[in-house]
Amino acid sequence: MDKSNSTSQSIENYLKSYWIASTPGTNYPTLNEDIKVDVAIIGGGIVGITAGYLLKKAGTKIAIIEASHIVQGTTGFTTAKITSQHHLVYDKIIASMGMNIAKQYADANEGSIGFIEDTANKLNIDCDFQRLPAYMYTKEQKYIKEIEKEAEAALKLGIKVKCIDKLPINLDIKSALIFENQAQFHPRKYLLPLAKTIPGDGSHIFENTEAVEIEKGNLITIITDKGKKILASKVIIASHFPCYDGMGLYLARLKPQRSYVIATSIKEKFPKGMFINVEDPGRSLRAQNDGENQLVLVGGEGHKTAHGDSFKIHYDNLEKFAQSVFSVKDTLYKWSAQDYITLDNVPYVGKLTSQEENIYVATGFGEWGMTNGTAAARLLADKILGKDNPWEEVFNPSRPFSSVAYKRLFTENFDVVKELIISKIKSGDDEINIKCSEGRIVELDGNKYGAYKDDEGTLHLVDITCTHVGCELKWNDAEKSWDCPCHGSRFTYDGEILEGPATHKLNHYKEGKIGRASCRERG
Ligand code: FES
């Protein structure tokens, strides 16, 4: 395991997820011939792997395709809490969608905790699963009432909760709510063994295999980046942001959000529990034993992707917070995640559109992908196997908009239009005068480019018009990436795609060599 000391290393040396650094990589084959299966699953995160496991177990022939490597997308960058405590959610769902629907949400998420525990036990998977209480707290007077309302709502829905005014941790609070019997785990230690149960008997996992087109017919054809095809009767799109929209208008209904995690070692013993606050900026805490050290994962600082000026500051803020609560020895890992949030904070899981019979989607888990993602996989496996599932209605992607959803639809899409307009009227510099490891927007001959100088001093320029629908990208100084403020696509400094929905890389111009993307890549 590779670790670095926070005080002496530059940030990129230790920007890595503990979950990925502490487990072996995977090496599944690339699709190199046309194949036919019953169900194709696009995306090898918690939804894809869990649904694949369930469908294969039921005798279905499946193929999971993953653009890079499995469990290295958002599932590899989580805080890995398995909890039905999702901030202040139940009171809001009861108010906007009613008691029955809120009960479905609570049951689905509570059910995920038991499902993960049972599956790990059944398959003898040692994934550091631990039952623990989850504490949600506030340091502000104005949220005391909200916490009380949430306690009332959760109790009505059958979740065991209790209000308290003291935490077993060094935080001075006004009020808190405990959810008993929640859990945490190591997501890759759980999902990599689960994935191993899938290949064989006509089922497959393919890595480095990207879906670039979906064609509908008697069977659905997925065309991959290497030109090979998968024919399937049903398709699950579990690619985080749906790689195929099918007129479902997911672009307008999902907001991209980034949040940050640091893993620190501390001198004192961390109490039994997981913690999260209600107010902004967000603060989340949990422990993880890595064998030598007890790590504390400190998360939070969420913001809409590519909004805000400096990204490094989020890690600094988390370190300051950690130092205010603990005697910190070292910060060993730092990573960030991208989540998609729906208009009403409830994921979209089910048929891609109300007219679509054979293509399913699972997206918009907010920051609660471990429980929501597991519930989504179980729901979709049931639908495909023709079984009833009690949570269909709450997650239905074609559900009517609540008043909360309408309001957010307007706000988010106004923001997208604003970014497009701003990008056309702002002017930039005339010279490329930047330091090593620095990135920013420059203007050359009246055209704007994203400029980055690497550690060797080589200058990289990219077109900064997002290849999705054309918003102007912003520089993320912490991760050396170009991020889109509209729908959250992200690109490396040399134009490769880090996150969709964009499916085409950026034109890249390197000092001394101009490397234009091919026509297909340029769309
Ligand atoms: Fe939609 Fe960039 S992700 S315009």
Tell me, what's the pLDDT at 523? 27
Tokens matching residue 124: 């003898």
Does ligand 1 lie within 6 Å of residue 501's CB atom? yes
- Whole-number Cα distances in Å, 252 to 242, 269, 394, 426: 12, 45, 20, 25
Sorted by sequence, the CB contacts under 8 Å of residue 56 that are 6+ apart come out as: 62, 197, 198, 201, 203
Range in 147-161, 249-263, 429-443 the model is least confident about: 429-443
Phi, psi torsion values for 479, nearest 5 degrees: -115, 5
Please give the distance, rounded to the nearest whole angstrom, from the Cα atom of residue 467 to the centre of ligand 1. Answer: 7
Distance from Cα 35 to the centre of ligand 1, integer Å: 32
Structure tokens given for 298: 């400190």
pLDDT > 80? residue 19: yes
How many Å from the N-terminal Cα to the C-terminal Cα in the chain?
Answer: 40
For residue 466, give Cα distances in angstroms to 323, 355, 516. Answer: 38, 30, 15
Q: What are phi and psi of 369, to 5 degrees?
A: -70, -25
Ramachandran sector of residue 288 (left: φ over 0; alpha: ψ -120 to 50; beta: rest): beta
SS3 percent helix, strand, coil of the chain, rounded to 5, is 30, 30, 40
Which ligand 1 atom minimizes the distance to the CA of 487? 3
Q: Give pLDDT tens digits for 449-485.
A: 888 988 888 888 888 888 887 788 999 988 899 999 8
Q: Which atom of ligand 1 is nearest to the CA of 484?
A: 2
User: Which of the four pLDDT bands, split at 50, 70 and 90, describes residue 114?
Assistant: very high
Ligand 1, atom 4: nearest CA belongs to which residue?
469
**Which residue shows structure tokens 């670039």?**
212
For 168-224, the pLDDT digits (tens) are: 999 999 999 999 999 999 999 999 999 999 999 999 999 999 999 999 999 999 999
CA distance 53 to 62: 9
Q: How far is the CA of 473 from the centre of ligand 1 (A)?
A: 8
Q: 111 alpha carbon to ligand 1 midpoint, in Å?
A: 35
Atom of ligand 1 nearest to the CA of 488: 3
pLDDT computed for residue 483 by the predictor: 93
Ligand 1 geometric centre to CA of 436 (Å) = 28
User: Ligand 1 within 6 A of 486 CB?
Assistant: yes
Task: Tell me if 295 CB under 6 Å of ligand 1.
Answer: no
Residue 20 Cβ < 6 Å to ligand 1: no
Atom of ligand 1 nearest to the CA of 489: 3
**Confidence grade of residue 445 (pLDDT, cut at 50, 70, 90):** low
Query: Is residue 417's pLDDT more than 90?
Result: no
Please give the distance, rounded to the nearest whole angstrom, from the Cα atom of residue 31 to the centre of ligand 1. 28
- The encoded tokens of residue 314 equal 């989020």
Mean pLDDT of the chain: 88
Question: What is each CA distance from 388 to 8, 102, 106, 392, in whole angstroms?
Answer: 56, 18, 18, 9
Amino acid at 103: K
Taken in order 55, 56, 61, 64, the sign of the CA dihedral is positive
The token duo for 195 is: 């994935």
pTM: 0.84
| Crossing angle of helices 403-425 and 90-97, rounded to 10° | 110
CB atoms within 10 A of CB 34: 13
**CA 217 / ligand 1 centre spacing (Å):** 29
CA distance 491 to 473: 9
The residues with which 277 forms a beta bridge, in sequence order, are 137
So what's the pLDDT on residue 322?
97
Distance CA 32, CA 135 (A): 49
Rounded to whole angstroms, how far apart are CA atoms 240 and 70? 13
Nearest CA residue ID for atom 1, ligand 1: 487
Ligand 1 close to Cβ of residue 469 (< 6 A): yes
- The pLDDT of residue 409 is 65
Q: Which atom of ligand 1 is nearest to the CA of 471?
A: 4
Residue 88's SS3 state is coil
What's the CA-to-centroid distance between 469 and ligand 1, angstroms?
5
DSSP state, residue 494: T
Least confident of 32-41, 132-141, 486-495, 499-508: 499-508
Q: Look at residues 523, 413, 510 and name the one whose alpha carbon lies nearest to residue 465.
A: 523
pLDDT in tens, 308-355: 667 789 999 999 999 999 999 999 999 999 899 998 999 999 999 988
